[in-house]
Structure 1
Amino acid sequence: MSPKIKDINRRLGELATEWKSFDLRQYSDNRHVFRRETISFVHSSDVIGRDEDKENIISMLMKPSEDQNVPVIPIVGLGGLGKTTLAQLAFNDDRVTSLFPLKIWICVSDEFDLSRLLKLIIQSVNKGERCDDSTLDALQARLRSLLNDKKFLLVLDDVWNENKAKWVELRNLLRPTDGFSPSKIIVTTRSLNVAPIMSSIPPYILKGLPLEDCLTLFTKWAFNDGDERHYPNLIRIGEEIVKKCKGVPLAVRTLGSLLF
């Protein structure tokens, strides 16, 4: 067995151990070890196998609201499944951009702190605004002023908050003063406990990719375009590796890049 294949098998074992902890359950405080900053941009051509999920989320975004509170769409799934990627795909779709004149992307990850979130939202809406020294009361007033009569899409990525009181504080600042809210919120989370706290609708449970899509993704990351036909033995090894990835795109991509 070549050193590279041995390295892949070793890394596969490490990843399998890591992903055992990324289950849909309640997490301890050390969960923040896995946090990472995210952005709204995505190369859609790099994403494989999420077209149907994207259309489902967009359909939910386009559904008229019948609630004064801003409707929340929770996307729930294991770490590495592509929750953030799915939110990015919907966020950047032309139909969504036409529907929501104002789009805001916030990577939450850390503690669900109201003051911090208000600052991030304000700075996203009004680029360059400095509000470091603002009081919580001033931040609340400023947010209400900026969002007044605005139709917006807010993405709260990588949420861990299971304290409903904290969410209600933010929710009340986001809803309109009267009438149904035309805006929407997408929340991504690994925890099933978060979804019912933030939304009254069932969560969108993101599932693993089918084997065929995983093989396509693996080939994309393991070889230069067209080179895979020169390495039939590596393709067979890749198929066995992909089966062990359980449909998790991050695992497939990571191991594919090791092979390359």
Structure 2
Amino acid sequence: MLESLNPSKATVRENQNALLKYLQEELRKKRYLLVLDDVWNEDSEKWERLMSCLSTLNSAPGSKIIVTTRSGIVASLTETLPRPKLDRLTTDECCSIILKHAACSDGSSDLKSIGRKIAKKCDGLPLMAKIVG
């Protein structure tokens, strides 16, 4: 985080309090959006320490932290709002994604038939459909 805010201070390898002080200086009265993407750490103590540190930053109102994860444990440790329940896609929706990413613009029935067979194996997962496509 500090490296993104001030690369010259990011080389400091001091204790946690010193790093927190630098973060407090950089974020004082500033509004920020911190995105922690694809998180897998399930250690509740580390999360409590991080959240405790972030709560002392004295940043501007409206600052937000977004955590993305596929781990239910991480989600339960980090959630402050109810998390959305995402349904799986239909076979037709998966097929549409596959055909789009396979650059199948001619719409031939053979390609659509193959796409539907593959889409059934994607089990409603959009990322799988995109990758397969």
Smaller-chain TM-score range? 0.7 to 0.9
Unaligned segments of structure 1, at least 5 residues: 1-120
What is the SS of the residue equivalent to 1:186? strand
Cα-to-partner distance string for 1:200-228 (whole Å, 9 max, x where unaligned): 3322233323333322211112235x32x
What is the rounded CA distance, in whole Å, between the counterparts of 2:87 and 2:50 in structure 1? 29
Q: Alpha carbon RMSD of aligned pairs, Å? A: 2.4
**TM-score normalised to structure 2 length:** 0.82
- Counterparts in 2 of 1:64-213, with a 5 A limit? 121-126=1-6, 128-136=7-15, 137-176=17-56, 181-213=61-93
Question: Counterpart in 2 of 1:243?
Answer: 120
* Alpha-carbon spacing, 1:181–1:147, altered in 2? closer, same or farther (3 Å): same
What is the SS of the residue equivalent to 2:48? helix
What is the SS of the residue equivalent to 1:193? helix
Which consecutive aligned stretches of 4+ in structure 1 deviate over 4 angstroms post-superposition? 176-181
Higher RCO (C-alpha under 8 Å, 6+ residues apart): 1
Q: Is the CA contact (8 Å cut-off) linking 1:149 and 1:176 kept in structure 2?
A: no
What is the SS of the residue equivalent to 1:204? coil
**TM-score normalised to structure 1 length:** 0.45
Letter in 2 for 1:172: S
Larger radius of gyration: 2
Unaligned segments of structure 2, at least 5 residues: none
Letter in 2 for 1:216: S
Question: Counterpart in 2 of 1:19?
Answer: none
Identity level (%): 38
Letter in 1 for 2:85: I
